[in-house]
Amino acid sequence: MDKTTTNFFNIPICEVIPFINWTFFFSAWNLSGKYADIQKVYEHDEDKTLWLQKFSTAERQKAEEALKLYCDAQKLLTCIEKEKTLCINAMIGIFPACSDENDNIIVNFEEEKIIIPTLRQQKPSTDGFCYSLADFLYKKNDFLGVFANTVTGSEKLAQFFEHKGDMYQSILLKTLADRLAEATAEWLHYKVRKEIWGYSPDEKRDIAEMFKAHYQGIRPAVGYPSLPDQSIIFDLDKIVNFNNLGISLTENGAMFPASSICGLMFAHPESKYFIVGKIDEEQLADYARRRGKTPEEMQKWLAAN
């Protein structure tokens, strides 16, 4: 495979909606419950009644709140789809890459080698091994995916609701935009596995299993537990140019629009998600050296670690 970049502009929202993980949508509203089958009942009053009766008296009030929230979300999504008020863009670049003995990822981009240092766990995972993302690339002749996706237009629409004094719709919209961004990453990753990179061409389209990460490969996003250094985002921007999707970066590495995601994709069959966790001063100093920064500079980017 040679390096390849694929862009998707104005992705139909109807393609992305099935990939929304509603569990996290409800969690954002502090509604923790088992509402996985809510999608099957919200259109019919009789089904709603039967569904609510499954919950105990103590749980039923929250279930009612979840049902109302879900119905409101569906109405808003229908309106967004009809009026085309949001725009969903995404891209994936697949580049020749490898790892080295110092836990660095080396991406061959045009005439340049971009080095992405990674951090290794200091406490073993349940299988007894301390992982680094560099473990999921061979020392030579491998490939790495760099992806980004965004939902644009939500800020303008949220301001419209706020000017009307409808804060509920504004918050609902922002929550949905975040979920659409995550759903787009899920949608994109499936297309990458199945078609674009094509390392898993026979994978069945089972979204419930995707939510459990039951597929080959991983897509750690910048700032997530296995890729906690937010400053890496500036290196990825050099590779894929976020501006092409309508994404800009603040000096602190935050993405705008806020409902945006970027990260890496690995195809290795043994790759897995993990948490780097706490690091010591020696590892901080080593990582800072590999990043070409001082430990003090890196400390602000890795404060949580």
Domain CATH number, residue 286: 3.10.196.10
Q: Which domain holds residue 57?
A: 4-301
Q: What is the pLDDT of residue 189?
A: 98
Q: What is the pLDDT of residue 3?
A: 64
Q: What is the pLDDT of residue 203?
A: 96
Q: What is the pLDDT of residues 246-256, one digit of tens each?
A: 999 999 999 99
Q: What is the 3-state secondary structure (H, E, C) of the chain?
A: CCCEEEEECCCCHHHHHHHCCHHHHHHHCCCCCCCHHHHHCCCCHHHHHHHHCCCCHHHHHHHHHHHHHHHHHHHHHHHHHHHCCCEEEEEEEEEEEEECCCCEEEEEECCEEEEEECCCCCCCCCCCCCCCHHHHCCCCCEEEEEEEEEEECHHHHHHHHHHCCCHHHHHHHHHHHHHHHHHHHHHHHHHHHHHHCCCCCCCCCCHHHHHCCCCCCECCECCCCCCCCCCHHHHHHHHHCHHHHCCEECCCCCEECCCEEEEEEECCCCCCCCCCCCCCHHHHHHHHHHHCCCHHHHHHHCCCC
Tally the residues of the chain: 305
Number of structural domains in the chain: 1
Q: What is the pLDDT of residue 142?
A: 96
Angle at 82 between CA 76 and CA 84, to 5 degrees: 90
List the pLDDT tens digit at each of the 305 positions of the chain: 556 899 999 999 999 999 999 999 999 999 988 887 888 887 788 888 888 998 988 899 999 999 999 999 999 999 999 999 999 999 999 999 999 999 999 999 888 899 999 999 999 988 999 999 999 999 999 999 999 999 999 999 999 999 999 999 999 999 999 999 999 999 999 999 999 999 999 999 999 999 999 999 999 999 999 999 999 999 999 999 999 999 999 999 999 999 999 999 999 999 999 999 999 999 999 999 999 999 999 999 999 99
What is the pTM assigned to this prediction?
0.94
